[in-house]
Amino acid sequence: MNSARALVRWLPAVVMMAAIFIFSSYPADELPDFRFFDYLVKKGGHMTGYGLLAASYLYAFNRRERKFFYFAWLLAVLYALTDEYHQSFVAGRHPSIWDVILFDNFGAILALCFISWRSRPVGQGVL
């Protein structure tokens, strides 16, 4: 694959990283309050964002071998760690390792397992 095409394949990952960075840059008092559903919406956003990020990393690699699934997961979790650190500088926000472990990590795993499941012939397991 030529380098221009490879760079284009990385574009979704860059867009997702930028979106996550922007959303985590909002001070706590500027975030919407979803009342009863606040926790569900915000933690669901974590899972969705990092699921899409892991999927976009896998897309960028343009490979379906098992090691690339693991590498996409690792990159998503590492980015989640840097994002939590970034939040420590945002007013009213605080870093949480539990967000990384329970939501970001799980969202990445779910997305990658879904992709693996959808790309396997019938009768084969996931990853």
How does pLDDT run across 58-86, given as a tens digit for each residue?
A: 999 998 899 999 999 999 999 999 999 99
SS3 101: helix
In this prediction the pTM is 0.91
Query: Which tokens is 22 given?
Result: 């922007």
Give the phi and the psi of residue 66 in degrees, each rounded to 5.
Answer: -55, -40
Residue range of the domain that includes 53: 3-119
- How many distinct structural domains can be found in the chain? 1
Mean residue pLDDT of the chain comes to: 93
Q: Please report whether residue 124 resides in a domain.
A: no
Q: Please report whether residue 125 resides in a domain.
A: no
User: 49 Cβ partners below 8 Å, 6+ apart?
Assistant: 16, 19, 20, 23, 104, 107
